[in-house]
Amino acid sequence: MLLNISFHYDFYPLLVVAAIAWLTPIILSVFKLKKIPIVIIEIILGFVAGKFLFGGLSSESFIILDFLALFGFLFLMFLGGLEIDVDQILASLPRRRLTVSRFLKNPLLVGLSQFAMAIVLSYAASFALAQLVDIPSIWYFSLIMVTTSVAIVLPVLKDRGEIGSRFGQMVIIAAAVADILSIILFTFTAFIIKNGFHYKLLYIIALFILFFVFYLLISKLKDIPIFKKLSYQLSQAASQIRIRGALLTILIFVVISQYIGKEVVLLGAFLSGLLLSTMLHRERSLMLIKLDGMGFGFFIPFFFIMVGANFDPKALAEFDSSLIGFLILLLVSLFAIKVLPSLLWQKLFGMKKALSGGFLISSRLSLIIAASAIGLELGVITSGINASIIIMAVITCFVSPIVYNWMSPNTITEGNKTIIVGGSSTAVLLARRLHLHGKKVIIIEEDKSRCQEITDKGINVVNGSGCNVSVFEELKLKPDNYVVIETGDDEKNLKISKVLRNEFLHENIISRISKFSLEQKYKQQGIETIDVTQILATAIENLIIRPTTYHALVESFENFSVEEIQITNKNLDGSMIKEVPFHKSAILMMVRRENSFFIPHGDTYLRTGDILLVFGTQTAFEETRVLLGDAGYKTVK
């Protein structure tokens, strides 16, 4: 015996689940099914394992699996809260007198309205379904139907480069609002169903108060020098203090929630993720990578595989002849209660785009399975309805992104885009970095095998030569599109630059040069050049002279960057900077007025047409664009 640890556990079920978790992404890659959410395959393979591989095993063999599945469930709720950008929601709070136009342009208000409409439609649909089958609690069933999945919405929008667009922000906030309000409503409802209007109901409210207390406490602690020093020193290697702190936060909220009631535990896990989301700034990206690795690499697959393993198709027998009709009506209802409220977007984006967004937020995943599982335990839904909900979750996760892409095809040639000529590693890295900032990028590459490699990385690529005029015509090159020339051959770069200048009279061209002798030829063409030797020398100089600033800009580009935003709001003309309510995560670095630059101060007066150099987060940029110009969302290049 080693440290009183028993080795008599049956590890065979663990081996099976681990093998399925490892095998699933390989299957999706080999059969080129990358558009299918991985959890769908995990649920299906889990069902197969439960039917053919777990038969005959004792209940003791599943103790570890059940625990890991439950913790994976809690971790999924935690990551669900972590995915929500609280700053983005707060930035959408109305700050001026509301008109119909301002209401329709406000993502938060539209999202709240859509959720209210969805609740009404969901209750009506639940009442209609109750005429076909036995639904013990119509209200709880309507809450199950109104859920959505930010975990499906975000990757779809990110893959299409729409996450930073106005439409993308509308969809994300609508999904986030539905997630937050759904989990709050079904937590209160489940508690009341189990305990009635008990005084312990106030404990749930106290949980929200605890959330704000922790928020204030951590906000104070993280600014204390000793805590900042310890956090930095212990964040890497074996200590991993931030990851340990994240796990501690989850368990604090889970344990407190458990004392209130089992049905409150998921809300506790969700709030712990929401709390951490408000805390993460510069280190957000690295933390998310580590936590995603823990969750989706280990804990979360256990949950979805065990959902499949425990799925009992025999439960559907309770519906008898009404099964097909019930499932069809349920599926139609799940889409209708999201698609109809999405018509609020019609005036801004057109009917087709609005409906496509409604189909996208119709996807359901973890939250609908959670609500259904809790409802089954409380006896407010039957085992047949629970089985139907799992089937619907799989169908909506699969169908919603497909319908969205079909109704709103992502034509890479439309809109604002950056074209990179040459598929070098530098070009791919640039494309990825621009993609993180929500920019659409297309690479032109001559080598077909290299094109395939770039495509496999999820980057838009066109096979062709930059010297060919027809390639740029097919890409619908527009005057405001940037073209970056990075073929690795200085003479070829110059040739392509001349084609763009002479054939298209294009101005926004950036070309890489390594031969100083060619600089004059580029200047004659009016083309911006990047001297690799000079940039390398500058980078080394910055590492020596100003290392902190250099690392801050280079290592945190996913979260902090510099953008130029022009003042078009005439109401700000003549205002002092100290009178303008800039976002807390935006720092005004410099002002460009006509051809002169100056460092701003609180008493500096702003003028319409000024270009402000702002350092901050993407959320801060969005709010600053709205603040500086009602014509809106125009970033000066």
Q: Is pLDDT at 636 greater than 50 in this prediction?
A: no
What pLDDT, on the 0 to 100 scale, is given for residue 140? 93
530 and 575, same domain (yes or no)? no
**Side chain identity, residue 200:** K
On whether both 273 and 347 belong to a single domain, the answer is yes
Tokens of 548: 């902190």
Name the band, by pLDDT with cuts 50, 70 and 90, for residue 1.
very low
Do residue 482 and residue 571 come from a single domain?
A: no
Closest CA to 396 of 433, 368, 428: 368
Tokens 């931030």 label which residue? Answer: 242
**What pLDDT, on a 0 to 100 scale, did the predictor assign at position 633?**
37
What are the pLDDT digits (tens) for 42-90?
A: 888 999 998 888 877 777 777 888 888 888 888 888 888 887 777 667 7
In a domain, 6, yes or no: no
The answer as to whether 381 is a domain residue is yes
User: Under a CB-based contact definition with an 8 Å cutoff, are residues 624 and 614 in contact?
Assistant: yes
**Percentage of the chain with pLDDT > 90?**
14
Please give the average per-residue pLDDT across 384-397, as a whole number: 91
> Mean per-residue pLDDT for 334-354?
92
- Contacts from 63-71 at CB under 8 Å and sequence distance 24+? 63/9, 64/9, 64/13, 64/14, 65/13, 65/14, 65/17, 65/302, 65/306, 66/306, 68/17, 68/299, 68/302, 69/302, 69/303, 69/305, 69/306, 69/307, 70/303, 71/299, 71/302
Residues 351 and 422 occupy one common structural domain:
no
Q: For the sheet with 509-513, list strands across it.
A: 460-463, 441-445, 418-421, 482-485, 509-513, 528-531
Residue 2 lies in a domain: no
**Residue 631: which pLDDT band, with cuts at 50, 70 and 90?**
very low
Q: What angle do CA 420, 422, 427 make, to 5 degrees?
A: 60
Residues 479 and 619 in one domain: no
In a domain, 552, yes or no: no
Q: How far apart are CA 24 and CA 467, in angstroms?
A: 43
Per-residue confidence (pLDDT) for residue 294, from 0 to 100? 85
Number of structural domains, the chain? 3
CA-to-CA distance for 604 and 591, rounded, in angstroms?
10
Domain end position, chosen among 385, 407, 429: 407
Going by pLDDT thresholds of 50, 70 and 90, the confidence category of residue 355 is very high
237 vs 580, more confident: 580
Alpha-carbon gap, residue 203 to 200, rounded angstroms: 5
Please say whether the beta carbons of 273 and 79 come within 8 A.
yes
Task: Give a yes or no: residue 553 inside a domain.
Answer: no
List the one residue out of 179, 172, 199 whose CA is nearest residue 89: 172
Distance CA 104, CA 98 (A): 10
Q: How confident is the model at residue 516 (pLDDT cuts 50, 70, 90)?
A: low
Residues 534 and 577 in one domain: no
Question: Which pLDDT band, with edges at 50, 70 and 90, does 447 fall under?
Answer: confident
Three-state SS at 567: coil
CATH assignment at residue 44: 1.20.1530.20
The pLDDT tens digits for 413-422 are 666 788 899 8
Task: Name the DSSP class of 382.
Answer: -
Cα separation, 459 vs 161, in Å, equals: 10
Contact 381, 137 (CB under 8 A): yes
| Mean pLDDT score, 149-154 | 79
CATH number at residue 623: 3.30.70.1450
Identify the band that residue 300 occupies on the pLDDT scale cut at 50, 70 and 90: confident
Report for 6-10, 76-80, 386-390, 545-549: range of highest mean pLDDT: 386-390
What confidence score (pLDDT) does residue 329 get? 94
If you ran DSSP here, which 8-state letter would residue 587 be given? Answer: E
Examine residue 111 and state whether it is found in any structural domain, yes or no. Answer: yes
Residue with tokens 């310890």: 230
Q: How many CA atoms lie within 13 Å of 522's alpha carbon, on the beta-carbon side? A: 25
- Give the residue from 407, 442, 463 where a domain finishes: 407
CA dihedral defined by 478, 483, 487, 490, rounded to 10 degrees? 110
pLDDT at 473 over 60: yes
Whether 4 maps to a domain, the answer reads no
614 and 531 together in one domain: no
Contact 24, 46 (CB under 8 A): no
Number of H helices, E strands in the chain: 28, 11
| Structural domain ending residue among the three candidates 382, 407, 432 | 407
Predicted structure pTM score: 0.70
How far is 171 from 357, CA to CA, in rounded Å?
7
Backbone phi and psi for residue 84, each to the nearest 5 degrees, phi listed first: -85, 125
Same structural domain for residues 389 and 246?
A: yes
Range of the domain at 525: 418-539
Same domain membership, residue 325 and residue 224: yes
What sections of 222-350 are H helices per DSSP? Answer: 225-233, 241-260, 265-279, 284-294, 300-309, 323-339, 346-349
| Beta-sheet strands, E only, within 329-463 | 418-421, 441-445, 460-463
How do beta strands 611-616 and 460-463 pair?
Answer: unpaired
Query: 381 and 451 share a domain?
Result: no
Handedness of CA 461, 463, 467, 468 (dihedral sign): negative
Only one residue has tokens 């125009």, namely: 634
% of residues, the chain, pLDDT over 70: 86
Structural domain includes residue 545 = no
520 and 567 both lie in a single domain = no
Give the pLDDT score at 632: 40
Interval 338-362 mean pLDDT: 92
Whether 107 contacts 169, CB under 8 Å: yes
For residue 616, list its beta bridge partners.
561, 586
Indicate if the pLDDT at residue 442 is higher than 70.
yes
Instruction: Give the closest residue to 169 by CA, choosing from 431, 357, 433, 405.
Output: 357
Same domain, yes or no: 78 and 209: yes
Structural Rg of the chain based on CA atoms:
27
Is residue 634 pLDDT above 60, yes or no? no
Per-residue model confidence (pLDDT) at position 361: 92
CATH number at residue 450: 3.40.50.720
Angstrom CA distances, 305 to 13, 17, 368, stand at: 11, 7, 16
